[in-house]
A and B are shown apart, each in its own frame.
Chain A
Amino acid sequence: MKIHNIEKAVIRILAVSVCLLSTMAFAEEKAPVAEPFRLGDYEFKADPELGYQYVSADHRSAKLNQYRDLESGVEFSGNAKMFRDSYYMGLGIKNAGKTNQEYNLTGGQYDKFKYKVYYNALVHNTSFDGHTYFTGVGTSHLSYTDHPYYGPTTTASSATGSNDVGGVVGWSNWTNAFDFGLKRKTYGATGALSLAAPFFVDFGVERSLTTGTGIIGSGSSMELPTPIDYANNTGFVEGAYRKDNISASIRYDISNFLTKDNYLYYMSWKNPAADLRNQDLVDHLSLAPSSRMTKVTVDSVVKDLPFDSSLNFHGGLSTMTDNVTLDSKAATKTAAADTLSAAVFAGNMQYKKADLSFVSRPMDKLNTRAYLGYFQNANTSNIIVNTTSTGSTYQNSLYNYHKSNGGFDAGYRLPMESKLKGGYQYVSMFRPQREDALSSHDHNFDLKVSNGYFDFMDMSLKAEVLSRTTEYEQMGSGATADHRTNIFLFMRPYDAASKLMWKVTAETDLTPMDNLAVDISYSQRKNNYRNTRIGKTGDLTHEAFADAGYTFKNGLRLNGFMDVEKTVTDSKHRFLGTSMEGNPDAGDYITPTKINPMAFNWDGTETGTTYGYGLTAEYPVMNNFNLGLSFVQDASSGSRAFSADPVVQAIVQFQDLGNIDKIRHSMFNLKGTYAINTKFSATLGFMFDKMVYEDDSYANYEFKTEPKAASGGAAAPSQQFTGFGSDNSYIGRVTYVSLTYNL
Chain B
Amino acid sequence: MMKINRIKRRGWLNVALIASGLFALSQFGFANGFDTGVANKCKECHEKEVTNFTGDNTHFRAWGSRTDGKSYSCESCHGSGEKHMKDKSVESIIGFSAEKQSKRPAAERSAQCLTCHSTTSKELMFWTQGIHNRNDVSCASCHTMHGGSDKMKPSSETCFKCHKDVKSQVGKFSHHPIIEGKVGCNDCHNPHGTTGASNIRGDNVNQLCYKCHTDKRGPYLNGHAPVEENCMTCHKAHGSQHAMLLVERQPALCQNCHADAGHPSNPYDRRTKFGNNSPAGTPPYPTTVTAPLNGALVVSARLVGRGCTNCHGMIHGSNTPGTSGAYFVR
Contact = CB atoms under 8 A, between A and B. Distances in A.
B126 A312 contact: yes
Nearest to A209: B4
Contacts of A547: 164
12 contacts: A86-B65, A111-B120, A115-B18, A187-B11, A355-B195, A386-B321, A496-B226, A563-B167, A576-B262, A602-B267, A652-B289, A658-B270
B180 to A, nearest CB: 4
A36 B195 contact: no
Q: Is the interface of B mostly helix, strand, loop or mixed?
A: loop
Contact of A495 (B134, B230, B260): B230
B217 interface: yes
A301 B23 CA distance: 36
A111 B164 CA distance: 36
Interface in A341-367: 345, 347-349, 351, 353, 355, 357, 359, 361, 367
B296 to A, nearest CB: 8
Contact of B293 (A491, A534, A574, A598): A598
Contact of B242 (A221, A345, A574, A661): A661
Interface in B212-265: 214-223, 225-226, 228-230, 233, 241-243, 248-249, 252, 255-257, 259-262, 265
B56 A81 contact: yes
B40 interface: no
A536 B226 CA distance: 15
A705 B267 contact: no
B256 A283 contact: no
A223 B310 contact: yes
A68 B180 contact: yes
A433 interface: yes
B171 A634 contact: yes
B39 interface: no
A275 interface: no
Given A219-B324, A353-B203, A396-B221, A724 B252 contact: no
B326 interface: yes
A67 B55 contact: no
Nearest to B304: A697
A386 B325 CA distance: 11
Contact of A595 (B226, B288, B298, B321): B288
Interface stretch (A13-21, A48-56, A236-244, A730-738): A236-244
Given A331-B323, A357-B195, A221 B118 contact: no
Nearest to A497: B257
Interface string B290-315: 11110000111101111101111110
Contacts of B15: 105, 117, 119, 187
A286 B330 contact: yes
Contacts of B218: 289, 291, 320, 322, 347, 349
B128, B291, B299 — most chain A CB neighbours (10 Å): B128
Please list the 4 inter-chain residue pairs (A to B) with the smallest Cβ-Cβ separation, ordered nearest first: A85-B30, A86-B65, A347-B219, A87-B26
A575 B100 CA distance: 61
A207 B134 CA distance: 37
B254 to A, nearest CB: 11
Nearest to B232: A495
Contact of A310 (B11, B18, B129): B129
Given A224-B313, A347-B219, A582-B261, 14 more contacts: A194-B120, A217-B311, A217-B312, A328-B321, A384-B321, A495-B233, A573-B265, A575-B266, A576-B261, A596-B290, A638-B249, A663-B241, A705-B304, A719-B304
B125 interface: yes
Given A244-B119, A484-B261, A705-B304, A100 B182 contact: yes
A640 B223 CA distance: 30
A218 interface: yes
Interface string A698-716: 1111100110000000000
B322 A394 contact: yes
A330 B324 contact: yes
A652 B293 contact: yes
Interface stretch (A145-153, A372-380, A619-627): A372-380
B32 to A, nearest CB: 9
A284 B219 contact: no
B241 A638 contact: yes
Given A242-B119, A348-B219, A658-B270, A494 B257 contact: yes
Contacts of A602: 267
A487 B255 CA distance: 13
Contacts of B99: 452
A217 B312 CA distance: 6
Contact of B66 (A111, A115, A638): A111
Given A117-B19, A576-B262, A612-B171, A345 B274 contact: no
Interface residues of A, number: 205
Nearest to B310: A217
B229 A401 contact: yes
B141 interface: no
Interface stretch (A196-204, A669-677, A681-689): A196-204
B229 A545 contact: no
A10 interface: no
Given A217-B310, A547-B164, A700-B273, A291 B321 contact: no
Nearest to B196: A355
A321 interface: yes
A83 interface: yes
Contact of B122 (A240, A338, A576, A578): A240
Contacts of B27: 84
Contacts of A249: 122, 125
Nearest to B58: A110
Contacts of A139: none
B129 A291 contact: no
A535 B310 contact: no
Given A597-B292, A654-B269, A216 B313 contact: yes
Interface in A555-612: 561, 563, 565, 569, 571-578, 580, 582, 592, 595-598, 602, 604, 606, 608, 610, 612
Given A331-B320, A495-B226, A654-B269, A359 B221 contact: no
B277 A706 contact: yes
A223 B304 CA distance: 12
A592 B270 CA distance: 22
A162 to B, nearest CB: 21
A473 interface: no
B24 to A, nearest CB: 10
B85 interface: no
B69 interface: no
A228 to B, nearest CB: 8
Contact of A569 (B165, B248, B266): B248
Contacts of A386: 321-322
Given A396-B326, A491-B260, A661-B241, A700 B274 contact: yes
Interface string A23-38: 0000000000000100
Interface string B10-42: 010001001100110111111000000000000
Contacts of B7: 207, 209
A292 to B, nearest CB: 10
Interface string A650-667: 011111111011010100
Contacts of A197: 119-120
Contacts of A198: 119
B120 A577 contact: no
Contact of B249 (A185, A194, A660): A660
A534 B321 contact: no
B77 interface: no
Contacts of B219: 291, 320-322, 347-349, 379, 381
Given A218-B330, A324-B221, A696 B273 contact: yes
Contact of A86 (B28, B177, B204, B274): B28
B76 interface: no
Nearest to A352: B203
B299 A706 contact: yes
A713 B322 CA distance: 28
A464 interface: no
